[in-house]
Amino acid sequence: MKKIHYRNIGFPKTGTNWLWVQLMKHPLVDCKLDVMYKEYRGNSIESYKKIYEKYDISVNMDVHAYDGSFPKDHYITPLKIHEHTTHVTMILRSPYEIINSMFNMDKNRNINFKLTPEQHIEKCYKTYSNMAKVFDDWGSCKIPVKYLVYDDLKSDPENFFYAICDHIGLKRYYKDIGYKFKTEINSPLTFDNPTIIKYINEGINVIEEKLNRDLSHWKH
């Protein structure tokens, strides 16, 4: 059997925890939570590869691998990831929803969180909508990246997971874990800055062109 070392490099708040649980329940995945969820940051590619040599099927979720902020020789960069990974996916979601969800999460989890909604939007909007840079960065990866859309996960989790299984060459398996994806946004942020709206919508345009898919319902 050919070894499978699969990694999702998607955005935060795109169902990566759900995806992780599904993969951990798959009977063929032999790399479990004690090793996989946390990155071995600071270690060399060689030490990383040595760790995974003993696994037939490993998985990893990394939600910040797209932003270009890693050190030059870090092994999770697009030019390095193919040295220890066999299959890659990225889950895309409306930047407006990501920004909103990140605000609610940070506000609820971090007692020192002091940003106003306006300050949070100003701080985050480029990070989650500079899609030309994202696609350009990951276009340099020797392994083709399969792009998925969060909307499909919400509407049909089972077939969404089957698509990932098919992509990485894993037998189809699905376990209903009882997780209900919310379609509404709690405490919705107000996006009223025309410059920010234009920037985010342009990022959505880039996704539409890349995926050849109408995502006009994402736009403000």
Average pLDDT of the chain, as a whole number:
85
**pLDDT at residue 159 in the model:** 96
| Structural domains of the chain, ranges and CATH numbers in brackets | 4-218 (3.40.50.300)
> CA-to-CA distance for 135 and 160, rounded, in angstroms?
22
Give 216's DSSP letter.
G
Report the 10 Å Cβ neighbour count for 137. Answer: 17
pLDDT single digits (tens) 73-85: 666 778 878 877 8
pLDDT single digits (tens) 112-158: 888 999 999 999 999 999 999 999 988 888 899 999 999 999 999 99
> CA-to-CA distance for 186 and 12, rounded, in angstroms?
17
* Single-letter amino acid, residue 191: F
Are 182 and 100 in contact by the 8 Å Cβ rule? The answer is no
pLDDT single digits (tens) 11-47: 889 998 889 889 988 999 887 654 444 455 556 667 7
The strand pairing partners of 145, in sequence order, are 88
**pLDDT at residue 54 in the model:** 79
**pLDDT at residue 182 in the model:** 62
